């Protein structure tokens, strides 16, 4: 049911400085950058095998990611696991007593359904679940 | 040159409690557990697509991982990127001013060559490089 790491998300202070490592030095391709005003982040997407590295630069220090950066500094923020059926996965997690941040899947504009598992239930790791749109 | 995420390593207090989420609730297979007395950790390996989730439980609070757990709590510890040629990768990183923790590759018993990039140079992320044995 869980079939790959979709992405590892990293909070950074500055996309350009981060790209100097991940793209220029390590050699990952940059597929796109995206402004997400809803979550107050700019995101750079760097494919790596069947996964991606996502770099998140907060654009508002009062946003969730902005406060995370101020408190914890730069570093890995969450890991996203792609599943076949997000509702079945969430039901199974709930049946095991796992705490979900979202009670029902949320939907991105392109159709990806997603939900977060609380780090309290996942070894201190913020885990995102993705079910990609089949459209 | 970098072609996949080999693994994401997570520091945990207790492997059994961690497996209750990653294996039992999320449904990842457990391929093996391994005792690594050199690094004072017990490791559980859970394949996920072309990558793995590695759960690290320190067996000595004075070890590197043990002190990390005491200071930062459970959570993601490092991400390992598999490369074709670790020496070429390290040379390229050094040429870009990236700080490496290991000056030359270290070698695991099964032949995997590895080295760590300092989080100072990698957006606060401890990055491990792997070149798998071709044997």
pLDDT at residue A133, rounded to an integer: 87
Encode pLDDT of B99-111 as tens digits: 999 999 999 888 9
Q: Does A107 touch chain B (CB under 8 A)?
A: no
pLDDT recorded at residue B134: 74
Stretch A97-126: mean pLDDT: 96
The beta-carbon neighbor of B5 closest among A12, A51, A73 is: A51
Q: Which residues of B touch A79 (CB under 8 A)?
A: 8, 76
Residue in B5, B89, B119 nearest the CB of A49: B5
- B87 reaches A (C-beta below 8 A): no
Question: For chain A, what is the mean pLDDT?
Answer: 96
Choice between A26 and B39, residue whose per-residue pLDDT is larger: A26
Disruptive mutation site among A53, A70, A123 for chain B (greatest number of B CBs within 10 Å): A123
CA separation (Å) from A3 to B3, B41, B52, B96? Answer: 18, 27, 11, 35
**Residue linked to tokens 């950066």:** A69
A74 touches chain B (CB under 8 A): yes
Tell whether the model's pLDDT for residue A135 goes beyond 70: no
Q: If you average pLDDT over residues A84-101, what whole number do you get?
A: 97
pLDDT of residue A2: 94
**Average pLDDT in the B38-45 region?**
95
Could you tell me what percent of chain A has a pLDDT over 70? 99
CB-based contacts of B56, cutoff 8 Å, min separation 6: B9, B10, B11, B12, B41, B42, B43, B65, B77
Using 50, 70 and 90 to split pLDDT, how confident is the model at B29? very high
CB contact B92 to A (< 8 Å): yes
**Cβ contacts (< 8 Å) between B24 and chain A: which residues?**
96
Mean pLDDT of A88-93: 98
Tell me how many residue pairs between chain A and chain B have CB atoms under 8 A apart.
129
The ipTM of this complex is 0.95
Which of A102-111, B5-14, B120-129 shows the lowest mean pLDDT across its residues? A102-111
Nearest residue of chain A to residue B94 (CA atoms): A25
Choose between A135 and A93: higher pLDDT.
A93
High-pLDDT (> 90) share of chain B, %: 93
pLDDT at B135: 61
**A4: nearest CB among B1, B10, B48:** B48
**Domains (ranges, CATH) in chain B?**
7-77 (3.10.180.10), 84-135 (3.10.180.10)
- The edge-to-edge listing of strands for the beta sheet with A113-117 is A32-36, A41-48, A51-58, A2-11, A75-83, A127-131, A113-117, A106-107
Residue B37 confidence (pLDDT) = 92
Query: What pLDDT shows up at residue B31?
Result: 98
Residue B59 forms contact with A (CB below 8 Å): no
């Amino acid at each position: 049911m869980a079939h790959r790491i979709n992405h590892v998300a990293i909070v950074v202070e500055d996309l350009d400085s981060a790209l100097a490592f991940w793209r220029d030095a390590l050699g990952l391709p940059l597929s796109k950058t995206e402004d997400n005003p809803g979550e107050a982040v700019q995101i750079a997407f760097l494919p790596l095998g069947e996964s991606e590295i996502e770099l998140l630069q907060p654009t508002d220090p009062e946003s969730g990611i902005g406060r995370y950066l101020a408190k914890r500094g730069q570093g890995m923020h969450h890991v996203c696991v792609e599943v076949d059926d997000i509702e079945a996965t969430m039901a199974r997690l709930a049946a095991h007593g796992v705490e979900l941040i979202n009670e029902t899947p949320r939907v991105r504009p392109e159709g990806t359904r997603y939900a977060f598992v609380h780090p309290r239930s996942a070894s201190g790791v913020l885990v995102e679940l993705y079910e990609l749109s089949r459209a």
